[in-house]
A and B are shown apart, each in its own frame.
Chain A
Amino acid sequence: NAGVMQNPRHLVRRRGQEARLRCSPMKGHSHVYWYRQLPEEGLKFMVYLQKENIIDESGMPKERFSAEFPKEGPSILRIQQVVRGDSAAYFCASSPRGTGGAGEQYFGPGTRLTVT
């Protein structure tokens, strides 16, 4: 299966713990995007990364959230000291093209984070 892969699919964390969400893009894709979908709300852009570079993090909360896409391995979205308001579905998408292109984005299955 050459689709976008995300793991874990479900993650439960207690308040104050750290959450790590992983995303492997589609084969041949080098651009990764993270989106968050809060219950009963729309999808919101968080961050756009290429290998070893954060290109646009305008949608990332200023504190506790970080993202990386290392040269080797999956992209990781890290949430430190989680709070109940972080409970949401986190989707990763990938595309084969970057700036200037139409760049259709294909979504992974998502990680559903529940903070207790």
Chain B
Amino acid sequence: QKEVEQNSGPLSVPEGAIASLNCTYSDRGSQSFFWYRQYSGKSPELIMSIYSNGDKEDGRFTAQLNKASQYVSLLIRDSQPSDSATYLCAVKDFGNEKLTFGTGTRLTIIP
């Protein structure tokens, strides 16, 4: 059974520092990778998608993908208190539309 693993946290990071969130997946057939942010009581919000090995940057966010190691990460630079949320990693196989989610990492930014 396909698994997506995340450290549940909580991960505490001082304001202004870099937050690093990690995710591993078990299925080598996984082709697309997504990071969602979910505030308590709210719906998941897409932050980043990445499909190729390497880094992808968007503002303060950088997604990193290493398919050989089956590892995807999200870096948040200059962390802000508003970044405090649960971050969900999701993977999708080519030709299969469903997302498989990890259980999420709870991130707290300390002012």
Q: Which residues does A use to contact B, with CB under 8 Å? A: 31, 33, 35, 41-45, 48, 55-56, 58-59, 91, 93, 95, 98-100, 102-110
Contacts and interface: CB of A to CB of B under 8 A. Distances in A.
B34 A55 contact: no
Interface in B55-111: 88, 90, 92, 94-104
Contact of B88 (A42, A55, A102, A103): A42
Given A42-B88, A91-B44, A105 B102 contact: no
Q: Identify the interface centre among A44, A48, A104: most chain B CB within 10 Å of its CB.
A: A104
A91 B92 CA distance: 18
A106 B104 CA distance: 17
A99 B46 CA distance: 20
Nearest to B102: A42
Contacts of A48: 97-98
A38 to B, nearest CB: 11
B45 interface: yes
Contacts of B43: 91, 107-110
Contact of A102 (B36, B51, B96, B102): B51
B32 A103 contact: yes
A91 B94 CA distance: 23
Contacts of B31: 102
Contacts of A100: 94-95
Nearest to A112: B41
B62 to A, nearest CB: 18
